[in-house]
Chains A and B, each alone.
Chain A
Amino acid sequence: MRVMVTGATAPLGSAIVGALLAEPEVELVLGVGTEHRGAPISPRMVYLRADLTHRREVHDLIHRAATAHAIDTVVHVGQHRNPHDDGTRVHAQSVDSVRALVLACSEHATIRRFVYRSFANVYAQPHATTTLIDEDTPLELDHRAPQWLRDRVEADLTVCGYRGGSLQISVLRCAEVVAPDIGSQLWDYLSSRICFRPAGFDPMINVLAIEDAASAFVAAVRSSVSGVFNVCGAETLPLSRAISESNRTAIAIPGGLLAPLYGLRRAATGFEFRYDLNARRFHLGSLLDGARALGKLGYVPRTRVRWPRPWWRVLLERLAETRA
């Protein structure tokens, strides 16, 4: 297998590249990112710098670099992360680049497989009653939703629209990967010392470790099955427990006050966390049903999430590790 991975310099992309290189049947990994990078981590890896928001660069990447390296599988995980950004540039990165990439891949001579990273947020929960979300749950098509969400839904539907042709497409709708610098809303929420949560609600949340996310992508790359798959994490726990795991103080306040409070907080500190994007899941727990990914891809989540810790606890843990 010869695999191209976009977003290869981001934490998830790096983890996928590492997991792919650990597979003996992977002959070559072509990493693509927007940043300059030093020497590749393996002789089986090639790194290329490309800005996928430019159609010409996408064309050249697929029809020149991918052809030269005889790439047969493309994994697209490069996504815009900050939910506060909007405008045409963000749309170009989140949607137009995906459209250009999947179109180019569908016309390519050697590329047979396209694996796309989507998100659990794309599911609509109009009545917020479904506890378990399977792949047939309707998507969020509300025009009043923030651009961050609308772009993700549009990109997901764009990729799904190319299914049925000669290109095998797998869309992995992942639960939230809780890790730093990955655009995780929960990580950002739990990074502050005091976490406000809606009074009277303590929903169950499912979180995905970055190692499990990488193993899901490897499973999708290795599989010959195409389709839409929910990728859930190994850990399902109440929100209050996630807060206590992170050694934070939870304060319950009426739900209606949380959006303005976190709006003020963002204005003061520049946090990425947006309460309006998370309001539904902070009130009503809905979990991804990962049965299809288990049955068809053989994906089993195993790794527990490393929650954000206060600096003194990280220091203590490192000291303990050093002693051990």
Chain B
Amino acid sequence: MLERCAPIYERYFRVASYGSEQVPAEGAAILVANHGGTLPVDAAMLCMDILRSSARKRIPRAICDHFVARLPVVGTLLSRCGTVSGTRANVAHLLERGELIAIWPEGTTGPAKRFRDRYRIQAWRVGFAELAIRYRAPIVPVAILGAEESWPLMTKLGLHWFGAPYVPVPAWPVPLPTHYRIQYGTPILLGDDARDADDPEIVAAGAARVRAVIERQLQDLRMARRGIFR
């Protein structure tokens, strides 16, 4: 699967990866990233990037929304690729096992945003911060640039097939070959103690801190790029 998708990563999106050495080589860790584009191509590119360029080639376990498992074909395919439904029990179990997990706290609000809101982080869930504190797992903030222009959303159909919140209609049938950039930040260890996970204020402050770092990374990447295809 990895070899088959390699041309998409290398030649189509020409993914440029910065700071992948920040990903811990072992032990539980959480990659937290921004989300955009009609379908989660950015998530696929992040997972490919971890598999190809991180120091120990760890297998990232992407955490997906609950409805994804119910989608025919897609649910099974993603499950075989290591994707896990984002229930508390699943994520806790992975962290206990010392796995590297990838979370997009925006959920479906990220891909559902309008083009004019691109790279503006939408609703930001805080569950990842609570689990990171509870399991003492470092958070690696990740900014992904290129997904929003590659495949913007044109409209949403109010159909709830297989439990999906909406049916996306992309602006064009296939994603454009924009130049993807993935920036990994310095790992953040939230809270002083595992018991801080029970304090909603500490959890919310931790989640906001990670969000601020990702927003700053996105801003830096946008300032540095010369064009969406270059």
Contact = CB atoms under 8 A, between A and B. Distances in A.
Interface of A: 127-134, 137, 198-204, 283-285, 289
Nearest to B73: A200
Contact of B90 (A132, A202, A203, A283): A132
Tell me the interface secondary structure of chain B in the complex: helix
A265 to B, nearest CB: 23
Interface stretch (B81-89, B104-112, B208-216): B81-89
Contact of B72 (A131, A199, A204, A285): A199
A284 B76 CA distance: 8
A130 B90 contact: yes
Given A283-B70, A289-B93, A130 B75 contact: no
Given A199-B72, A200-B72, A289-B93, A129 B79 contact: no
Contacts of A198: 72
Contact of A129 (B66, B72, B76, B93): B66
Given A128-B70, A129-B69, A284-B75, 6 more contacts: A128-B69, A130-B89, A130-B90, A199-B72, A200-B75, A284-B70
A109 to B, nearest CB: 41
B87 A131 contact: yes
A134 B89 contact: yes
Contacts of A202: 76
Contacts of B86: 129
A258 to B, nearest CB: 13
B87 A200 contact: no
A203 to B, nearest CB: 7
Contacts of B79: 204, 285
Contacts of B85: 129-131
B76 A200 contact: yes
6 contacts: A131-B69, A131-B84, A132-B89, A134-B89, A200-B72, A284-B75
B138 to A, nearest CB: 23
A203 B76 contact: yes
